[in-house]
A and B are shown apart, each in its own frame.
Chain A
């Protein structure tokens, strides 16, 4: 067990890689009543096409999410009830890039951790239980279909990307999940739920030694080779479609716009790019930018507007979303501002302040157990060490941001997705 110290942010982290390849990390937090454990599997909604033993496989859309629902089934019953009996509050989520299972509790931590680890390493799917879940997940999909916020983002991804599976919604469709059987779930489990493809991260007032011992004891001894993933051919920077429009029962038009960016390598370079992308987005149209003020004062955007940089494996983009009576005008204003910055640059003081602000916010984020565990795991799958973010910030210069903005914010890379009211 290694102890890593991060004096700049007042954190420490115990780390160990088990013989089966699973990484275990413990971030001690003294004085907190709550203990939180998080198991992340490097398997998300985008992992539907892959190669195992030289054979290409294509799974139905939404399979990672379906599997997540069914992992709560154990031969002795549903894990929800067992967690509840131990006073824990469990949940799980599926994102584009990962599936995660987590609980928090104030009592019986060791037993709960055993249960969590047993659950994520025990496949138990019967045709009846898989069938029964279909009704629940269908209603879940219907709920998302009625959400304009979700639809507008999904439409944007589908407009921007031609090959990358981020263009498909996380939960899939009622039709695609109709093809999922117990066998499908078994196949995905065997391919991706290997200890070497998982990270366990624990936060709270816990004994790191005990966590490591439990993980070693409960998880399987063996691990198998991981499949080779296929996210399709390399993307061109041109979107598939520059505009999408949908009508729904909403009160005012809502939009998501995006600019495609080059994929970035793994490791600390990925973290650096994210910081560059975030600062660039803030300089372009963040709350402290001249453009934000103009758009806000003219009523083209409101307080719900947000902008940022996102990346899911090789799919990278700068995106903004909000409500507006004239989304087209917002996009045009952003393009003009991008042009101006490419020509004239930006105030060095704005860069300094934004960096200071972003660092302060990241520091405050360290109070959230959920955020710590999620980020540690997400960065780890990208080969980066989350807690070293202050060093990454220090390494970003104004020129990096200028270069990124000049390259990215242009009409050829832009797409605009709009959902308008029916009437």
Chain B
């Protein structure tokens, strides 16, 4: 249990969400400049390991931690959202050699407390399902000891040697993880801000694949059987593109040798690329509300940006988001929180693959109209090009800082490079260069493309 902290600024708005959205894709095999003049030995290399299996490896000696993620790329849609989310959990529940969660956990303890977890990410309408491992770098272990090879061996065990009965997954493992997944889906309700965001997205993207929540629906989990999941497992293994990211001291070629062993039995040759449907403009503005026994109202506004990470005006959108609501000097933070004391948090974030912007705030019920008008008024100011040099300068520094900091965190590096496997965009130095060249007019043009789609309000029962 974490002893609670109470922060000056709603942390997730500024860091959690931005870490997913601020970090644009990258081009491979390039030296990265670290904080300006100093050239650091941090090089990303892309290597094809097996049919449809790509490793992006970054050799670095900055960290004590080495990490990797293994991602199966799937189209995100209602039909497969639930089994996609369930599969990694069932695979990590029991294997031939490690027949229960305790033996798995003990094995990871023996590997100096290696963390090995499931991953279910969504970038636009691309679902990335798989595993993430985080372990001590071999350089910090006693002479002759190493964990990297052992962790990749374990990966192979988890992926290719699950515990089976009658030629498919053990029923008790599937049932247990179905229950856990159902709980996870339903517990969305416990975090009212996440719940409000999910409900807004469901409304806004109804009829689009993105409208299905990341983990799917509880009713779809119910229908999964050990047999159907086994069939899904075979499909995922044989037809998905696989993207791997590794950061650590081993040379890319050496890391590639280890991962190639994991996928030595990979079959198939046709791996369909997965794409995201982008609606560039909202058809009309929808306003919906829901009542619940809560003490604070949650206002979430969804906008279509008309710009994705692969578009040339993406840097302008990135900066506009920071000016409008993505930082402590943004229009929303200054005017809705600081000047009018309407809320503790009011912020904007981007989904750069699908082309969405989310504005989110926690307010007193009776302030709904006032807060909504204030948020839309600041949006109009952006559309009218009402930016001061100071605003732009501060937001620019904030975005550049976030981009540079990416290089200092293995987890952010992973987000960044795996993102680049999903949709092509510019690399960090180019992005920074473009950000530095942007003018108020570029921001105004980007703001012109924003259109409000859905306004969602979670209010009190008697409000």
Whether A135 and B341, one on each chain, are in contact in the complex, defined by CB atoms closer than 8 angstroms, is: yes
Q: Is the CB of A292 within 8 A of B102?
A: yes
Per-residue CB contact flags for chain A residues 354-398 toward chain B (1 = under 8 Å, else 0) read 101111110110110000000000000000000000000000000
- Which stretch in B182-190, B199-207, B208-216, B261-269 binds the other chain? B182-190
Chain A interface bracket (under 10, 10 to 19, 20 to 34, 35 or more): 35 or more
For B11, the closest partner residue in chain A by CB is: A91
B277 at the interface (CB under 8 A from A): no
Shortest distance in angstroms between A46's beta carbon and chain B's nearest beta carbon? 11
The yes or no answer to A88 lying at the interface (CB within 8 A) is: yes
Whether B109 contacts A353 by the Cβ 8 Å rule is yes
Query: Is the Cβ of A95 less than 8 Å from the Cβ of B3?
Result: yes
- When distances are taken between beta carbons in the complex, the residues of chain A under 8 Å from B294 are 146, 249
B34 cross-chain contacts in A, Cβ below 8 A? 31-33
Tell me whether B4 and A91 are in contact (CB under 8 A). no
Q: Would you call A142 and B296 a contact (CB within 8 A)?
A: yes
Contacts of A86 in B (CB 8 A): 397
Contact A293 B102 (CB under 8 A): yes
- Contact segment of A51-59, A99-107, A214-222, A327-335: A99-107
Residue B232 lies at the interface, judged by CB distance under 8 Å to chain A: no
Say which one of A181-189, A264-272, A302-310, A400-408 lies at the interface with B.
Answer: A302-310
Q: Mark A22-44, 1 if CB is under 8 A from B, else 0.
A: 00000001111110000000000
- A92 proximity list for chain B (CB < 8 A): 7-8
Q: Once the chains are docked, how many angstroms separate the CA of A94 from the CA of B408?
A: 26
How far does the Cβ of B351 sit from chain A's closest Cβ, in whole Å? 22
Q: Is the CB of B189 within 8 A of A356?
A: no
Taking CB atoms, residues of chain B closer than 8 Å to A106 are 35-36, 400-401, 404-405
Question: Given the known A-B contacts A92-B7, A95-B5, A360-B113, are A251 and B187 also in contact in the complex, defined by CB atoms under 8 Å?
Answer: yes
Most buried by B among A81, A105, A143, A321: A143
Whether B4 contacts A153 by the Cβ 8 Å rule is yes
- Neighbouring A residues of B176 by C-beta, 8 Å: 296-297, 299
Indicate whether A139 sits within 8 Å of B293 (C-beta atoms), given known contacts A360-B112, A367-B64. Answer: no
Q: Are A361 and B113 in contact (CB under 8 A)?
A: yes
Choose one: A84, A95, A249, A306; the contact of B4 (CB below 8 Å). A95
- A87 at interface, CB cutoff 8 A: yes
Q: What 0/1 pattern do residues 38 to 71 of B give for CB contact below 8 A with A? A: 0010100000000000000000011111000000
In the complex, what distance in Å separates the CA atom of A290 from the CA atom of B5?
32
Give per-residue flags for B93-129: 1 if the beta carbon is below 8 A from chain A beta carbons, else 0: 0000000111001101111111100000000000000
Interface set, chain B 401-432, CB cutoff 8 A to A: 401-402, 404-405, 407-410
Q: Which residues of A contact B405 (CB under 8 A)?
A: 33-34, 104, 106
User: Contact between B136 and A363 (Cβ–Cβ < 8 Å)?
Assistant: yes
Quick check: which of A65-73, A193-201, A228-236, A338-346 contacts chain B, the rest being far away?
A65-73
Cβ contact within 8 Å between B401 and A87: yes
Assembly CA distance A137 to B397 (angstroms): 28
The smallest beta-carbon distance between A70 and chain B, in angstroms, is 10
Residues of A contacting B108 with CB < 8 Å? Answer: 357
Distance between A404 CB and nearest chain B CB, rounded to angstroms: 18
Contact B328–A250 (Cβ < 8 Å): no
Q: Is the CB of A33 within 8 A of B293?
A: no
Contact B102 A143 (CB under 8 A): no
Residues of B within 8 A of A177 (CB): none
The 8 Å CB contact of A147, one of B105, B191, B397, B402, is B191
Chain B residues positioned under 8 Å from A10 (CB to CB): 64, 140
**A111 close to chain B: CB less than 8 A:** no
A90 within 8 A of B: yes
Q: How far is the CA of A78 from the CA of B65 in the complex (A)?
A: 38
Q: Is A422 an interface residue (CB 8 A)?
A: yes
The smallest beta-carbon distance between B76 and chain A, in angstroms, is: 22
Q: Are the CB atoms of B393 and A85 closer together than 8 Å?
A: yes
Partner of B100 from the list A33, A293, A360 (CB cut-off 8 Å) is A293
Instruction: Report whether B102 and A364 are in contact in the complex, using a CB–CB cutoff of 8 Å.
Output: no
Question: A307 vs B401: C-alpha distance in the bound complex, in angstroms?
Answer: 36
CB neighbours of B6 from chain A (8 A): 45, 65, 93-95, 140, 144, 170-171
Asked if A88 and B401 sit within 8 Å, CB to CB, the answer is yes
B29 part of interface (Cβ distance < 8 Å):
no
Contact A297 B100 (CB under 8 A): yes
Do the beta carbons of B329 and A80 come within 8 Å of each other? yes
Residue of A nearest to B65 (CB): A364
Q: List, in ascending order, chain B residues with CB within 8 A of A2's CB.
A: none
A359 and B113 contact, CB distance less than 8 A? yes
Taking a contact as CB atoms under 8 Å apart, the answer to whether B408 and A34 are in contact is yes
Is A262 an interface residue, CB under 8 A from the partner?
no
- Taking the complex as formed, is A125 at the interface, i.e. its CB lies under 8 A from any CB of chain B? no
B337 contacts chain A at the CB level, 8 A cutoff: yes
Q: Is the CB of B35 within 8 A of A146?
A: no
Among A80, A106, A137, chain B packs the most CB atoms within 10 A around the CB of A106
The chain B residue sitting closest to A97, CB to CB, is B3
> Given A93-B7, A310-B1, are A353 and B393 also a contact pair (CB < 8 Å)?
no
B35 with A357: CB separation less than 8 A: no
The answer to whether B296 touches A139 (Cβ under 8 A) is yes
Contact across chains for B362 and A367 when beta carbons are under 8 A apart: no
* Pairwise interchain contact A84-B329, C-beta atoms closer than 8 A: yes
A296 x B101 contact (CB < 8 A): yes
> Per a CB cutoff under 8 Å, which of B5, B186, B410 touches A251?
B186
Q: Which residues of A contact B63 (CB under 8 A)?
A: 367
A-B contact pairs, 7 of them (CB 8 A): A10-B140, A31-B42, A80-B329, A146-B192, A287-B101, A350-B106, A360-B113
Interface residues of A (CB under 8 A from B): 10, 29-34, 45, 65, 68-69, 72, 78, 80-81, 84-96, 104-107, 132-137, 139-140, 142-150, 153, 170-171, 205, 248-252, 254, 256, 287-290, 292-293, 296-297, 299, 302-304, 306-308, 310, 312, 319-321, 323, 350, 353-354, 356-361, 363-364, 366-367, 422
B-side residues, CB < 8 A to A, are 1, 3-9, 11, 14, 34-36, 40, 42, 61-65, 89, 100-102, 105-106, 108-115, 134-136, 140, 172, 176, 179-180, 183-184, 186-193, 292-296, 327-329, 337-338, 341-345, 362-364, 390, 393-395, 397-398, 400-402, 404-405, 407-410
Known: A92-B7, A360-B111. 20 other contacts (CB 8 A): A30-B62, A31-B40, A34-B408, A80-B328, A84-B394, A84-B395, A87-B401, A89-B14, A143-B362, A205-B35, A249-B189, A249-B294, A251-B189, A293-B100, A293-B101, A312-B3, A357-B108, A359-B113, A360-B112, A363-B112
